[in-house]
Structure 1
Amino acid sequence: MRPARRTFLLAGLAAAGCSSSPPPRKSAPPSSPVATTPAGPADWTALGRGLDGRLVRPGDAAYGQARRLYIPRFDRIRPAGIAYCANPQDVAECVAFAQRMRLPVAVRCGGHNYAGWSTGTGLVVDVSPMDRIRTDGERAVVGAGVRLIDLYADGPGVPAGTCPTVGVAGLTLGGGLGPMTRAHGLTCDALEAVRIVTADGRIRDCDAGRDADLLWASRGGGGGAFGVAVEFTFRTFGREDLTWFSARWPWSKAAAVISGWQRWAPPDELWSSLQLDTPSVEVVGVSLADPGKELDRLAGLAGGDPEELNSRRMPYVDAMKLLAGCAGRSVAQCHAPGGLPGQRRDGTYPRTEYAAKSHIAYRPLPGDAIDALVARLSGDAEGRSVLLDAMGGAVARLKPDETAFPHRAGLFCVQYLAATGDRDWLRGTHRAMEPHLGGAAYVNYADPELADWRRAYYGGNADRLARIKAAYDPGRLFRFPQAV
């Protein structure tokens, strides 16, 4: 089963300039690890007692559920502890504990990391309990534990992704592609301030005038490598009704539709995703205005009218639910089921098993590339799909080095999805497209097999990110295979 809409993410990081708050109320961490023995039961008990939130350990009734990520294959990983942090001081306490005990740390919000790097064998710092949303004029202050469905339902307008159970932290820190991207930019483009706990245990209140390098890195530099984000301040836009649309052609028209969709270039108010999933090819999207004339133009470019066309005006949150695959459900039902932070007792949104790779396209696919892509999906393609999500518009208004997200000239993001056991097809399809797409990839679709991931994710921004990492986390407390 493929995911219902897939802007998945990791969690952890932050920013927007930074000054330190007063020291946390509890013990401050040493500047470097000092422990020579692993954490014992008494140490873990002391950590749990020192938190306002909840520590879940192996043997606890909630452990089996607490250790799960969105993708089931990572269920094999057994953390030594999962700390549900109720506030920034809890996070600082966890950082101190991890430093003292030489424990690996993973930072988690929604748990959607494609490579499973929002869990590990040490301490998982989960920010889900910090899920308040406050509105202050044209600004929204959003806790790092907020799920996208709650941001859409309860918050003002902030550009975000589509999968309802994704956490706002990971999405923001890796960039944030989604249905408002062309009209209002990436999620990270709306970020104006953030509160972050860095490896030295300091709780930093960041804005554009303080620690500007950390702000820059946190706007698309990837989650989990620079610290633990606990709160974001976003610039907002006015929410209004949207027109959702869907146009479907038979698979025999796939090459023509891909070619036409690439040349379409609708106004910035319209966003679309081209979804290649046999036995059909479909363009879905949303528009601030009536998209009728633009859909007619697309049909002309695609070589003929779609066999099925639907569009309707609806409230903003309903459009987001439809794109997320949870139309007709309540906000609570659009959560994962369960009683832990971030979940709901009546949640129905399922976990999904899949593997994925990505490209960022800087130029249209030529005819031979289109033919190769269609051939890769033709025949027995059960469990395989490719998504092309439009970029451009507001994304292109910033220069590549204005934020850590470098792909400002990207035309669209390509995501290849397959059943986990179908990795040979996934690798082969990615390899076939590589000569045409130039090696750029989206950090929020983490690919552990990507050889030159620094260049692919960050382009010319990679060296600056490495310098910022060295300044804020010289001991590399926050590390995983693709941490800068």
Structure 2
Amino acid sequence: MDRRRVLKATILGPLAAAGCSDEKPAPEERPSRAPRPTGPADWNALERGLDGTLIRPSDASYAQARRLHIPRFDGIEPAGIAYCETPQDVSECIAFATLQRIPVSVRCGGHSYAGWSTGTGLVVDVSPMDTVKRDGGNAIVGAGTRLIDLYAGLADHGVSVPAGSCPTVGVAGLTLGGGIGVTSRAYGLSCDVLASVQVVTADGRILTCDGERNPDLFWACRGGGGGNFGAVVSFTFRTHEIAEVTPFSVRWAWADAAAVIRGWQRWAPAAPDEVWTSLHLDTQPGQGTPSIEVIGVALADATGPMNALTAATGADPVSSTAQSRPYLDAMKFMGGCAGQTLEQCHAQGTLPGQRPGGGFPRTDYAGKSHIAYKPLTEAAINALLDRFDKGNDVQNRSVLMDAMGGAIGRIGPGDTAFPHRKGLFSVQYLAPDNAWLRATHAAMEPSMGGTAYVNYIDPDLKGWATAYYGPNLDRLRRTKAAHDPGRLFRFPQAL
């Protein structure tokens, strides 16, 4: 027997040694935890057992490998970073971490707002598993795929999957938390088009999960948050046909901000499904006056939606733009790399997930969120605008309101783990300074009822479990107990 098989047989038991299982495990088949080792971790043995690459602090590429998208977490120093090329590599890492009692962090795009896709133990990075293949009406997508590669890999086939806009975000974290994107009102969240998922669980098994096989885990993977139940290595999505779409933008004077918010929140959640919009409040150093803008994507002509939006606000815009584009070009435009090559839409580097000619920048910020289940009152609108009128020329600060409704709301709150089906819009607060974020979030909390979106994970959030998961919390906790009773996969807000 080679070293990999010996390790799995010893630590994870006969089920893990067998490799892949599509059967729901019986309770008596669950392998026990190994005793605490008495010697130092044998990182060389782990490296020999991987098809991928293990990077340690003494390696030349370590400084780059340990970085996330957000620079404020650069001080975290993992003991090792494993770039896993296969599901078996992930299983090997789990066996090693179990034996050595080493903390495990699962990483793809590294965009976690709280930095929880890294840690001081073993980082299991799935970036090398980034293939995108069309299979009939489905797309089989490796968990390491970046969103720009998801769109590019399907563009030649004239199909896509509803997902986010930031090009370097990983498909895994986005989908596992729900996945709000620019076509979600038309086609649902990313998790809504998930047909199956392949997960490496804490006992090292590689499970295929869908409506019939391991259905509890499949349910949890559709909105239950990344890193809670195992390391996902592959997704199978149902695709939808898409060709050209029309991104558009409408800007108003700041003096009309209250009227714009008032009108947009009435119109946007009930707009035609083919229209998605996001209201942006922004300020920048030296800008003086904050800005207000609605950006959107229409699956057809945008003239009608833009006119309807303007009518709903009752305020004349100062500018507006609209241009029909092929879908891949539209997603580059929405993601901030319009006119650039596919390589340039990646982070710069030579490690998996990066490209030598990449130019997409890292960004330092923190975030908070709400889900609005009812329109903001006049008092809430005034409180929000007041936050921008305080020190607006000091920092880059933003509040983004993304319209929900449409296909998102036609699925029951308990049909998937994502509970916020009746939400009108999500609210994301972004800034580099936590003091402003906390004060702004607190000012809006009375209007939002203790809700939040798990993909905008917030380390300061009180009552986070209920805010993220609502009525689905108890079922998620039962699923966690069934598949990770020893809590191998844990972080400060893990279930």
Give the TM-score band, short-chain normalised: over 0.9
Shift of 1:219: 0.3
Does residue 371 of structure 1 match 2:372?
no
For 1:24, give the aligned amino acid: G
For 1:141, give the aligned amino acid: I
> Which residue of the partner structure matches residue 5 of structure 1?
none
For 2:404, give the aligned amino acid: M
2-structure distance, mates of 1:291, 1:139: 29
Structure number with higher relative contact order (C-alpha < 8 Å, ≥ 6 residues apart): 1
> Which residue of the partner structure matches residue 439 of structure 1?
450
For 1:473, give the aligned amino acid: D
For 1:61, give the aligned amino acid: A
1-structure distance, mates of 2:219, 2:113: 24
2-structure distance, mates of 1:34, 1:106: 21
* From 169, 174, 189, the counterpart of 1:171: 174
1:406-448 per-residue CA deviation (whole Å, 9 max, x = no partner) reads 00000000001111xx211110110010000111100000001
* From 174, 192, 196, the counterpart of 1:193: 196
Q: Give the RMSD, CA atoms, in angstroms.
A: 1.5
Does residue 276 of structure 1 match 2:281?
yes
Q: What secondary structure is seen at the aligned counterpart in 2 of 1:289? A: coil
For 1:199, give the aligned amino acid: A
> Which residue of the partner structure matches residue 261 of structure 1?
264
Shift of 1:21: 8.6
Shift of 1:280: 1.5
Describe how 1:10-29 pairs up with structure 2 within 5 A: 23-24=18-19
> Which residue of the partner structure matches residue 235 of structure 1?
238
Identity score, percent: 63
* From 365, 368, 372, the counterpart of 1:361: 372
* From 281, 285, 304, the counterpart of 2:315: 304
For 2:184, give the aligned amino acid: T
Q: What secondary structure is seen at the aligned counterpart in 2 of 1:208? A: coil
Alpha carbons 1:38, 1:102 under 8 Å: kept? no
Shift of 1:23: 2.1
For 2:244, give the aligned amino acid: D
What TM-score comes out, normalization by structure 2 length?
0.91
Alpha carbons 2:133, 2:153 under 8 Å: kept? no
Structure 1 309/81 Cα, relative in aligned 2: closer, same or farther at 3 Å? same
Shift of 1:165: 0.3
Alpha carbons 1:30, 1:99 under 8 Å: kept? no
Q: What secondary structure is seen at the aligned counterpart in 2 of 1:444? A: helix
Shift of 1:290: 1.2
Q: What secondary structure is seen at the aligned counterpart in 2 of 1:183? A: helix
Q: What secondary structure is seen at the aligned counterpart in 1 of 2:251? A: strand
Alpha carbons 2:50, 2:89 under 8 Å: kept? yes
Shift of 1:291: 2.0
For 2:135, give the aligned amino acid: D
1-structure distance, mates of 2:411, 2:303: 30
2-structure distance, mates of 1:76, 1:101: 24
For 1:125, give the aligned amino acid: V
> Which residue of the partner structure matches residue 34 of structure 1?
35
Shift of 1:115: 0.5
Alpha carbons 2:224, 2:417 under 8 Å: kept? yes
> Which residue of the partner structure matches residue 17 of structure 1?
none
Shift of 1:180: 0.8
1-structure distance, mates of 2:473, 2:359: 39
Out of 301-310 and 182-191, give the one that drifted further. 301-310
1-structure distance, mates of 2:214, 2:323: 45
> Which residue of the partner structure matches residue 207 of structure 1?
210
For 1:446, give the aligned amino acid: I
Q: May I ask how many residue pairs the two structures share in their alignment?
A: 459
1-structure distance, mates of 2:451, 2:274: 26
Does residue 251 of structure 1 match 2:220?
no
Does residue 321 of structure 1 match 2:326?
no
* From 451, 457, 463, the counterpart of 2:474: 463
Q: What secondary structure is seen at the aligned counterpart in 1 of 2:74? A: helix
Alpha carbons 1:416, 1:426 under 8 Å: kept? yes
